[in-house]
Structure 1
Amino acid sequence: MSFLRFATRTLRPVPVCHFSTSTGGTPKSSSSNLPFYLGGAGVTGLGAYLFLGGSPAPFSTTTSKPKQKQEKSALDPERFLDLKLKSIEPYNHNTSRFVFELPDGGAALSPITSLVVVRASEGSEHAPVDKKGNLAIRAYTPISSPDQEGELVLLIKKYENGVISKYVHERLRPNDTLAIKGPIVKFPYKANEFEDVALIGGGSGITPLYQLLNHALNDPVNRTRFTLLYANVSEGDILLHEELATLQRAHPDTFKVVHTLDKPPAAGWSGASGYVSRELVQAHVPPAQKGDKIKVFICGPPGQVSAVAGKKDGMKQGEIGGILKELGYTEEQVFKF
């Protein structure tokens, strides 16, 4: 979007409305303009000059332009871009936030429930490869807002057998680059398509669920009720703990989070304990009988996904199974990230 600006020369300041989201430079007066007023305007100009207090009226010097609305993602879903690592922010004992710079200060403009694919940049030392000798790739869901300008934030947990996660944690330093491609949409979420949405997550599988929650709950037109069942080993393993608590405080009528731990603390723990069980699902997830008014999203370790919703078949959803099948949920009601 662009707007026309008019520079105005006048002896008396005239209010001007600028259609801009930013403020232009402050006009300055200069006594060097006195000959212009005296010579070009004669006695009348001199009278106006004296009437205005001995200083000529300022020229309009506003030159700032309104910022154009970004229409295209700073990322590319068809090819990898080398993004510079801006900073590393430790989160807990095995997870950190990795902040990458987006080209030209743009935004990712990632549709909700979309991911990015990452690999080492070409020519990087110690670049991990797959069994075929090609650069290994992994998918991550950004936790930064889709319209956050200039930055893409990935919350990456380090796994001892994680090819990419170990590389990122052990080899990458600020100013290094990582090749990133995306955004790639996983599920075409629409506001208020469902009355209830249940999200079941484990460990770092929280990231796509959080992305959906953060977007939907902060949408002023949202009427969908969300319930999150989030499983971890210990309290220190809970990712985005405060962010989830903040969402629950801000949206008490439409969001409930239930934490469950394999190893809960001996005292002071008010959540559940153990894995995501049939009993936990029955207690907190709306029943399958709600039909197309209920949707269940799940993302977590393969063992959890298999036990709760049936094994995922590579990039395909795979058949419904596990606890959700036992409780009568159908493949149409369940989506596995």
Structure 2
Amino acid sequence: MLTPTHITLRLSSRALRSSLPRIAAEKRAFARASRTLDTSYPRLQQNDSSSSSSGSSSSNKASSSPISITNILIASAAIVSVTPYALDLYGKITGTSPPPSTSIPGKVEPYTHNPLPLISSAYYPDPSTASAHKFLQIGLPASTSKPSLASKFTNPEDDIRKKLRIRSIYIKEPSLVIERAYTPLYDTLPGSYAASLASASSSDRKLLDLIVKRYPDGELGRMLHRAGPNPTVPQLEVRGPVDTWSFERDSAHGVLPVPERIVIVVGGTGVTPAYQLLTNLFGRPGAAGVGLGIKGNAPKVEVLYATQDLENALLLPQLHELASTNGDKISVKLFAERLPGATKLSKADAAALGQLVPAATGGSRGESWIPFFSKRSSRDPKLELTAAQTAAKIPVYESRITQQHLSQILTPAEGSGRTLVLISGPDGMVDALAGPKSRDGQSQGPLAGVLARIGLKQEDVFKL
């Protein structure tokens, strides 16, 4: 009796015997194809040698090749054009891309470097004395710097929201293909709503004013200090504008009301973002009345400016003039670790700083904002900075910015509105005051440091 297993084995044997002729035929066909393939390479070499002797046959062969030079060029162009969008998409998916800019691109483009001319270059503050800082003016295309008039905003708060932003440009070092962000003193970039642009002359609207510091290991700073001005030759690779901070973008998507007060803590060249914000709201120094249209609704701005040496402080005459013109809306406090005597200042430094007089208050002691420094510091100003024909005074502290300073300044008065704190300066200063930014360098990271200890909230602090 045959079991199912025996029946299956018999059927399999029959199927195998019936498929043997077909397998043999396929084997013979494969052998013929292999012989054809083996002999094709010598024929190809022969064709190549014969085609090299005939220009027309070589041209015909190149045109029939599946990977021609034309195809390679088309593929390369496609890769180049698609790469920025692919990188942007990758950044959005992984969360590593910077927040999108609210700027309106013009001939100066946010994502593409374009050559612009260097109009002028001079040492700062004294053009006749070599220093680590230079004042540069970069030429802008004529069509980029048209002011966006505030009159189209029916609500004054909308006008203020548009002005509450700080914008930067990126300059590329062509040989090393690296770039660095710089904040112009005045927002003359495309899509500007700044009061400083409305009060500027037609020639000023075509300029980007920068203060650039040269560091020993800074490639961009050294390149810009070496660059010679030539208004007719575009030599600097620039892209922008890029929003460093925008109230509408960075304050919970703009749903929070305009703050009653903005406190900007700055160090070193980090003063330039604070200066741009001041001129966005109140216009350029000496342009009296430009910011008065929004002055009653604009937040009060307090600048806490930290510097190692008083002689290295930047933009003090301009800050003094802004504080004098807008005394009820602008205040400036200067913190220097070392104060020179008035007789030790050079004429250039004295002209850049103004007149220093002893402060009326005495000094008490407090703790440094960098905990591993044992040096103790004064909580009261030691000097005051004055200027001719103005009543405004800038208090000068022989101190770092301490927790006691910040606690005293940021403690809200009864019935007062919201205070927003912006921080701009060296990484060590930002880390000590508010904690480091995230590893990608783009997102804010959790609030820590001194500002967290005195009770500020994450949404009330922004690290530039």
Q: Same fold (TM over 0.5)?
A: yes
Match of 2:110 in 1: 77
Do the aligned residues in 2 keep the contact of 1:117 with 1:180 (CA within 8 Å)?
Answer: yes
CA contact (8 A) 1:308 1:324 kept: yes
Which of 207, 213, 227 is equivalent to 1:151? 207
Of residues 265, 272, 279 in structure 2, which corresponds to 1:214? 279
Q: 1:103 aligns with which of 132, 138, 141?
A: 141
In structure 2, distance between residues paired with 1:205 and 1:109: 26
* Structure 1 residues 109 and 204: alpha-carbon distance in aligned structure 2, compared to 1, 3 A threshold: farther
The separation in 2 between residues aligned to 1:237 and 1:284, in whole angstroms, is 24
Q: Which SS does the other structure have where 1:104 is aligned?
A: coil
Mean CA deviation greater in 143-152 or 296-305? 143-152
Query: Who wins on radius of gyration, i.e. which is larger?
Result: 2
1:74-108 deviations in Å (ceiling 9; x for gaps): 41112111111111022132111111111236428
Please state if 1:203 is matched with 2:256: no
Deviations along 1:266-325, one digit per CA (max 9) or x if unpaired, are 454331122211112123234499897110001000011011111122111111111100
SS of corresponding position for 1:328: coil
Partner of 2:287: none
Distance 1:180 1:292, change over 3 A: farther
The aligned runs of 1:296-315 (5 Å cut-off) are 296-313=421-438, 314-315=441-442
RMSD (CA atoms): 2.5
Matched position secondary structure for 2:209: strand
CA contact (8 A) 2:335 2:398 kept: yes
Of 172, 175, 179 in structure 2, the residue corresponding to residue 119 of structure 1 is 172
Looking at structure 2, the residues matched to 183 and 280 of structure 1 have their Cα atoms a distance apart, in angstroms, of 35
Q: Find out whether 1:234 has 2:309 as its counterpart.
A: yes
Match of 2:224 among 156, 162, 168: 168
Letter in 1 for 2:311: G
Name the SS of the counterpart of 1:118 in structure 2.
strand
Give distance in 2, aligned partners of 1:168 and 1:213: 26
Q: Is the deviation greater in 103-112 or in 146-155?
A: 103-112
Corresponding position of 1:189: 247
SS in 2 for 1:149: helix
Normalization by structure 1: what TM-score? 0.70
TM-score (norm: length of structure 2): 0.51
Amino acid aligned to 2:275: Y
Q: Gapped runs of 5+ residues in structure 2? A: 1-103, 126-130, 149-162, 189-196, 198-203, 249-253, 284-290, 343-355, 357-382, 385-395
Checking the alignment, whether the CA contact within 8 Å between 1:244 and 1:257 is kept in structure 2 is: yes
Alignment partners' CA distance in 2, 1:289 and 1:331: 21
Mark the CA change 1:286 to 1:113 in structure 2 (over 3 Å): closer, same or farther: farther
CA deviation after TM superposition for structure 1 residue 181, in Å: 0.4
CA separation in 2, counterparts of 1:333 and 1:76? Answer: 31
Question: How far is the alpha carbon of 1:236 from its aligned partner?
Answer: 1.3
Contact persistence 1:73–1:109 (CA under 8 A):
no
The size of the alignment, in residue pairs, is: 255
Distance across 2 between alignment mates of 1:84 and 1:202: 30
Large movers: runs of 4+ above 6 Å = 108-111, 288-292
| Cα gap change, 1:140 to 1:274, in 2 (>3 Å) | same
CA offset digits 1:159-215 (Å, max 9, x no partner): 11222112211x211126111100011222369711011000000011111111111
CA 1:193 to 1:103, structure 2 compared with 1: closer, same or farther past 3 Å?
same
Unaligned runs of 5+ in 1: 1-70, 122-126, 130-134
**Contact map agreement 2:437 2:445 (CA 8 A) in 1:** yes
User: Do structure 1's residue 322 and structure 2's residue 449 form an aligned pair?
Assistant: yes
Amino acid at match of 1:280: H
For the residues of structure 2 that align with 1:154 and 1:262, how far apart are their CA atoms?
26
